[in-house]
Structure 1
Amino acid sequence: MSTQKAIVVESPKAPFTLSTREVQSPGKGEVLIKTISVALNPANWIQREYNILIDAYPVVLGNDVAGIVEEVGEGVEGFSKGDRVFGRAMKGGFQEYTIVAVPGFLLHIPKDKNFDEVATIPMAFTSACIGLFAASPIGLGLNPTYSWDKSQQGESALVIGGGTSVGQFAIQLLKSIGFLRIVAYASKKHFEYLGQLGVTECIDRSDVPLDSLATALKEPVKVVYHTIDLAALNTAYDCVCHSGAIVSCQPTAPMDRDVEAKNITFIRLAPNPAIMQLFKTAEQVMIQNLSEMLNKGIIKGNRYEVLPNGISGILEGLERLQKGDVHGVKLVAHPHDLRN
């Protein structure tokens, strides 16, 4: 069995370290991917810091990968050695080779897309898409059948944290189903790009504090997508209209308002074993439609920054994410760069 470089957490809350591991062989219903690009997410350092959903140590974290199929396991159909693919890693994306399940989140890369762009998609897009499109109780149900007939024509929305990876996807999805007014609460430096994605109004977070956002908004909106800042969930309530809807990808953000008083639909994206099968079913519907969305230009990946120093660059990137020093871009690493 050959070896590979990997970013490993050796024990609970231990630091990320560069190490060497064996390259695994794919089992039944799995493929082995040579990881060309891997995207970093804030969830990666949070998972390590708080020991979330980690069954055993040492562990390799990381989820969003793009690369080339190296080996196909028993029973896998639709993928062959040499295929360009992207998806969500089962057993850690922060390594040179990783395993992805089939069926699972694994798709062929469109001819006009590169490895870096599609590596930005899996986790952030899933949060935005399931939260907005999937039916209750896991989403707002705005487009559960993935119809492109502008079913929400003329509606209004606010994305708090429009410049984030999740926010960028939420904006594109809202535009795709006909939202006419899409407001982004974000840093001014992102305004031009967010306008290209579909934003019609921008509110500068540096000029307008959270407690003044509802006033700056002038008219309440039908839907609020809350991506960042735990304190912003109460503000989301203040900005949404009666019988409107809020979705939050912050599972621990406090909500101190009376949801029933405004008859609000409120979805909090958080791991919940009781509805995991509903999530998996909705995710498969999403995956089946994602290729069409990319090919039609309905969705494009995040802006990204490629980290230097190959796989070891992941260590610097995770540190920057934990410090809050990354804004408006997804960090991407190339695990095979600089390989001896």
Structure 2
Amino acid sequence: MAPTEQKALLLEKKFGDLVLNTSWPVPKPKKDEVLVKIQSAALNPCDWKIQKYGILVTNFPAILGSDIAGDVVEVGEGVSNFAVGDRVFFQGLYFQNETPGFQQYATADVFTLAKIPDNVTYEEASSIPVGFTAAYVGLYNSTPGKGLGYDVPITPEAKGKYAGVPLIVLGGSSSVGQYGIQLGKLSGFSPIITTSSLKHAEFLRSLGATHVLDRNAPLTAETIKSITDLPVQVILDGISTVETQKVGFDLLGSGGGIATVLQPEPDLEERAPNENKRFAWVMGDKVLPHNVQLLRDVYAQFTELLEKGDIKPNRVEVIPGGLNGVVEGLTRLRENNISGVKLVVRPQETN
């Protein structure tokens, strides 16, 4: 039985500090929901950006943290496919304080909830939702401007469908980049070319990259032509700075598309129609209408994808101190003092 109160890290006001509350109410699961005791929560750049820039969140106090893994401790009305004791992972929502990860208990809807197989830890599972969702929506959402619209690789007909179609993943060692490489492999894209610090090259090749290029070296059309003569039609930009967007846009062939995790640069977006190129600005929120069914379908198969090794979680680094470690972790993310791993905390270890 879950307690009635818990420890939660609160953003008390816009631009405010993150403060630990030791008597925050534990939510009750509603219809088609479960209550999860959070064993691991991952940190994302969006968490510090909300605090620093005052974006996305309008109601305070607010709880942040979108990547969550833990144990089902209570089920709501109508829940039949999950039971108390199941190890699960899911994406929390910033605007619903019952669901985010920087607390010890949260509720999750059963439609975008997946069981963690035995070959995956809580910490690894908590690295999945946000990064995977961004890559998945970017490549497979068919809504114009929201994704590139390729067929999802979770059906037998579409698995391996895009053999011979090159894929470029900018920022391969980022969370989004790692999942983009693996999804590209499932879809059959080849070659799969990525940019990264070369210290991650072997790891990224193990995920499915065929070519790992130094992120500090110029990425030109000549570089790509030395790998493939085929026109570049598909780019996933897991970094999406002004520089990476420009590089990606210039590499695209006519009719190609680039998916970015930040807003497309206005001048490039303006040029795109005249050059027969397209942008997809990825919004990885599971409740957006254009994402709902796409994500429900993949969550229904997620356990098997992980079990078979088709999708491998990010490598993780555990920050000690439970929720008290979040501030340090967000500082490291903000200062770009992290490479190739996902930072996670264990809320149950909070003193």
Does residue 268 of structure 1 match 2:281? Answer: yes
Match of 2:96 in 1: none
Does residue 24 of structure 1 match 2:37? Answer: no
Match of 1:173 in 2: 183
Alpha-carbon distance in 1 for matches of 2:12, 2:222: 49
* Offset at residue 236 of structure 1 (A): 0.7
Match of 1:308 in 2: 320
Match of 1:92 in 2: 100
Alpha-carbon distance in 1 for matches of 2:58, 2:333: 24
* Offset at residue 145 of structure 1 (A): 6.6
Does residue 143 of structure 1 match 2:151? Answer: yes
Q: Determine if contact 1:233/1:254 at 8 Å carries over to the other structure.
A: no
Q: Determine if contact 1:214/1:235 at 8 Å carries over to the other structure.
A: no
Give the alignment partner of residue 119 of structure 1, picking from 122, 126, 132.
Answer: 126
Q: Determine if contact 1:230/1:250 at 8 Å carries over to the other structure.
A: no
* Offset at residue 86 of structure 1 (A): 0.8
* Offset at residue 254 of structure 1 (A): 4.2
Secondary structure, in 3 states, of the residue corresponding to 1:44?
Answer: helix
Q: Determine if contact 1:234/1:254 at 8 Å carries over to the other structure.
A: no
Match of 2:9 in 1: 7
Does residue 184 of structure 1 match 2:194? Answer: yes
Alpha-carbon distance in 2 for matches of 1:338, 1:234: 43
Q: Determine if contact 1:66/1:87 at 8 Å carries over to the other structure.
A: yes
Give per-residue Cα distances to partners, 1:261-309, cap 9 Å, x unaligned: 432232111489xx93222122212222323322222111011111111
* TM-score (norm: length of structure 2): 0.89
Moved over 3 A (4+): 212-215, 252-255
Match of 1:224 in 2: 235
1:1-340 matches, within 5 Å, as 2-20=4-22, 21-90=24-93, 91-103=99-111, 105-137=112-144, 138-144=146-152, 146-148=154-156, 149-206=159-216, 208-209=217-218, 212-218=219-225, 220-228=231-239, 229-251=241-263, 253-256=265-268, 258-270=271-283, 276-337=288-349, 339=351
* Offset at residue 125 of structure 1 (A): 0.2
Secondary structure, in 3 states, of the residue corresponding to 2:49?
Answer: helix
Alpha-carbon distance in 2 for matches of 1:201, 1:82: 42
Secondary structure, in 3 states, of the residue corresponding to 1:69?
Answer: strand
Secondary structure, in 3 states, of the residue corresponding to 1:336?
Answer: helix
Q: Determine if contact 1:251/1:270 at 8 Å carries over to the other structure.
A: no
Structure 2: where are the runs of 5+ without partners?
Answer: 94-98
* Number of equivalent positions: 334
Secondary structure, in 3 states, of the residue corresponding to 1:286?
Answer: helix
* Offset at residue 189 of structure 1 (A): 1.2
* TM-score (norm: length of structure 1): 0.91
* Offset at residue 30 of structure 1 (A): 2.0
